[in-house]
Amino acid sequence: MSADFTGQVALDGPSGTGKSSVARAVAARLGAAYLDTGAMYRAATVAVLDAGVDPEDAEAVAAAVAAAAVEVGTAADTELVQVDGVDVAVRIRGPEVTRAVSAVSAVPAVRRRLVDQQRALVAAADAVVVEGRDIGTVVLPDATLKVYLTAAPEARAQRRAAQLGLTTPDEIAELAADLRRRDEYDSSRADSPLRPAEDAVVVDSTHLDREGVVDRVVELALSTVGVAR
Ligand SMILES: Nc1ncnc2c1ncn2[C@@H]1O[C@H](COP(=O)(O)OP(=O)(O)O)[C@@H](O)[C@H]1O
Ligand SMILES: Nc1ccn([C@H]2C[C@H](O)[C@@H](COP(=O)(O)OP(=O)(O)O)O2)c(=O)n1
């Protein structure tokens, strides 16, 4: 049975490749915990915006995040995201947070704080699926399985547009431009840039449906059962 998996699945990749939906479903299939590290950077961004701080002012950003309690849940079937005890699960997906999150997540002090928290949450679970940008490269370099999810930029923009209910060509073009801007920002930052770990399995989801990707990652995870690392 799939509940035999123990260890960590690191799932990284750019926006709109299907990380969140795939990671949640894989965690459910494996009976594992689930950690959305992007939700933590988004919650930290809420703290920055609420403190009235410019997201490009690294020092002020670090201070605002240090002063806030960011909390996320690790259950695959519920979403708990709080800042100072307030539920921000809906707000973190809004455009204001999406615009500012790359700048906030580029600040090294913010990353150190959240990475410490991520490692503590992972250590508390026998089996866990963790999704983000630097899980295989920085957060969990010894993860049991590392998967790097990719997809063609057009497919990613279409998926995100459908998810947000955007339909006009202008809206879709704006969204595609935002994805490109965030890819560029996340891949070129000095601290923990987005890139595949050397030992990651690259899965291209352009021509796979969500279930196809989930099947592939579950199969890879189960192939590690009983294999010493
Ligand atoms: N393989 C796939 N094919 C088509 N749509 C997908 C696929 N994987 C995920 N999606 C859909 O694309 C959207 C973005 O997926 P999401 O998991 O939020 O991506 P990410 O976390 O990488 O940004 C969601 O609406 C999701 O249901
Ligand atoms: N481990 C991580 C996870 C996310 N980030 C940053 C980079 C991303 O632009 C933002 C938001 O991540 P999130 O996974 O929520 O973004 P998408 O849902 O893919 O659009 O956070 C990061 O720097 N490191």
Ligand 1 centroid distance, CA of 196 (Å): 19
In-domain check, residue 2 = no
**Which pTM was predicted?**
0.94
Cβ-based neighbours of 167, under 8 Å, separated by 6 or more: 161
In-domain check, residue 196 = yes
What backbone torsions phi and psi does residue 8 show, to the nearest 5 degrees? -125, 135
CATH number of the structural domain spanning residue 65: 3.40.50.300
- Which residues sit in the known binding site for ATP? 13-21
Closest C-alpha to ligand 1, atom 3: 209
Strands 70-72 and 81-83: antiparallel
In-domain check, residue 1 = no
Domain count, the chain: 1
State both tokens at 121.
Answer: 């949450």
- Tell me what pLDDT residue 229 has: 54
Ligand 2 centroid distance, CA of 91 (Å): 15
Residue 100 in contact with residue 55, Cβ under 8 Å?
A: yes
How far is it, in rounded angstroms, from Cα 92 to Cα 211? 26
- Tell me what pLDDT residue 18 has: 94
- C-alpha pair distances (Å), 42 with each of 37, 74, 83, 91, 162: 9, 16, 10, 9, 21
* Maximum separation of any 2 CA atoms in the chain, in Å: 51
Alpha helix ranges (H) inside 124-188: 153-164, 169-188
Residue with tokens 């494996």: 30
Closest C-alpha to ligand 2, atom 15: 38
Between 169-188 and 153-164, two packed helices, what is the crossing angle to 10 degrees?
Answer: 120
In-domain check, residue 211 = yes
pLDDT tens for each residue of the chain, 229 residues long? 445 899 999 999 999 999 999 999 999 999 999 999 999 999 999 999 999 999 999 999 999 999 999 999 999 888 999 999 999 999 999 999 999 999 999 999 999 999 999 999 999 999 999 999 999 999 999 999 999 999 998 899 999 999 889 889 999 888 889 898 888 888 998 998 999 999 999 999 999 999 999 999 999 999 998 775 5
Of 18, 22, 26, which is closest to residue 156 (Cα–Cα)?
18
* Ligand 1, CB cutoff 6 Å, lining residues: 15-21, 159-160, 163, 205, 208-210, 213
Q: Which domain holds residue 174?
A: 7-226
- Tell me what pLDDT residue 77 has: 86
